[in-house]
Structure 1
Amino acid sequence: MNGLEKGKVLFEKQEYKEAIIELTNFLLEQKNNADALYIRAICFRKIEAFEKSIADLSTILIRLPDEATLFCERGISYFYNKNMNAALIDMNKAVALDPNNPFRYSSRAYIRANIDVEGAIEDYKKAIELDPEDAISLNNLGLLEENVGKMSSAKNRFNAANKIIGYYPDKRDEIQENKKIENQSQEKNTIGKIMLNVFIAKATRKEYFAYLKSIFKK
């Protein structure tokens, strides 16, 4: 088992620092190996070494400048590094390259919610149009609509999300939820406290490796 294979195993075990060591040693011999750079970039992000994550993804993008997922991943790293402008530039590029992928819109929406609520609402609507079963986008869209006073629409979004995940609150839960919504509508900044993290929910390790198989043999 070489360093790349060991790194993948450690990554799957969520042993990110150990994975970085194996991948870095492997890259000493194959410095431009996109598989190793990609996994290491995600590992760096997991341990909050965001600039190193951005650097690895930027290196791959020199070779693969038309891969939407790479722009999306770098945008996520920019976001966690608190560089919103760079994050949105990368997310815009990801949307342009992959306009029929709902995750591109929900990813951009999650970032836009911090600076452009109306824009985020439109992105979540587009994500749901492309994937009506996206309970996470429905939930987050409901929260944003709630934040701008669209309480009836927000409630419909929450109900749709609950139906998808198979959660059916009883009447008491519904009354308590209505009171919660009323209280939240009086607060100015409730979004970040309860919005589901699109990146954590969608960007699973399984997706990473499926993605690697699809593009890094080009």
Structure 2
Amino acid sequence: MDDKSHYDAGLAKVNENLFESAIEDFTKAIALNPNNPHYFNQRAVCYLNINKFDLSLFDMNKSIELDDKYAYFYSCRGFLKTKMKDMEGAIDDYEESLELDPQNDITYNNMALALESMGNMNKAQKYYKKSNEILGYDPEKRELNEEQTYMVDKEESTSETAKTEPSESKLKEHIDQVNTENEEANSEEKKKIAKEVFTKKSTFKEFLGFIKNGFKLDKDDQD
């Protein structure tokens, strides 16, 4: 097998949450081609998922060393640094990522979360606002723009909870509610959903839809 085949095999295992096995595939890909930054980044993500933060940081540093103009690498490392409680380092990486990709709503949101955790709410609100603008979400009107997935009736009554920007506290409330209503749900899947809210744009939009819908699941989701 060539390096690309090992890499593709690793990606398939990541989709199945087989992170340790995926690491083996990415390691084989790196051995055959040590100059591809994406191989290191994907292995780093696997290490992150199994809480081997030091190994993850090493690989993320290597991916940036190989390609220091790819915004996603900085965003990934910023997210890792929040897990390592290095908020200042995370903010530095998010700033670098936004310089390279100034229209990434997820990075703005993650920056806001890092600032909020440091008690800098005023600055955090600015980043939440920018994230919402890019996404097309108006927390005051509780609506998304027409081209977005979720729409809200303008005549629908608003609540104080729905007016606030997304934060980790809201995510926790959401997860607690899901835990109560679905006691037999797989716990690892819930952790994956929680992480994806802040790393995948599609899941982030679904979370915003959940907020604007008054923290109620759509009927289609309940079936």
CA contact (8 A) 2:3 2:33 kept: no
Shift of 1:75: 0.3
Bigger share in helix? 1
**Unpaired runs of at least 5, structure 2:** 143-157, 170-190, 203-223
Q: Corresponding residue for 1:99? A: 68
Q: 1:44 corresponds to which letter in structure 2?
A: K
Deviation digits for residues 133-162 of structure 1, max 9, x if unmatched? 010000011011011011011100011011
CA–CA separation in structure 2 for the residues paired with 1:153 and 1:61: 40
**Unpaired runs of at least 5, structure 1:** 1-31, 185-191, 203-218
Deviation digits for residues 149-193 of structure 1, max 9, x if unmatched? 110111000110110011112268695467789995xxxxxxx96
Distance 1:151 1:41, change over 3 A: same
Map 1:133-212 onto structure 2 (within 5 A). 133-170=103-140, 175-176=160-161, 196-198=197-199, 200-201=200-201
Instruction: Please give the TM-score of this superposition, normalised by the length of structure 2.
Output: 0.65
Greater relative contact order, per chain length (Cα 8 Å cut-off, separation 6+): 1
CA contact (8 A) 2:128 2:165 kept: no
Q: Corresponding residue for 1:34? A: 3
CA–CA separation in structure 2 for the residues paired with 1:112 and 1:154: 17
Instruction: Please give the TM-score of this superposition, normalised by the length of structure 1.
Output: 0.67
Among all aligned residue pairs of Structure 1 and Structure 2, give the percentage whose two residues are the same amino acid: 28
Q: CA RMSD in A?
A: 2.8
Q: Does 1:132 align with 2:102?
A: yes
CA contact (8 A) 1:102 1:130 kept: yes
Q: Corresponding residue for 2:25? A: 56
Bigger mean CA deviation after superposition, 93-102 or 172-181: 172-181
Shift of 1:120: 0.8
Distance 1:180 1:140, change over 3 A: closer
| Count, aligned residues | 164
Shift of 1:44: 1.4
CA contact (8 A) 1:44 1:53 kept: yes
Q: 1:135 corresponds to which letter in structure 2?
A: D
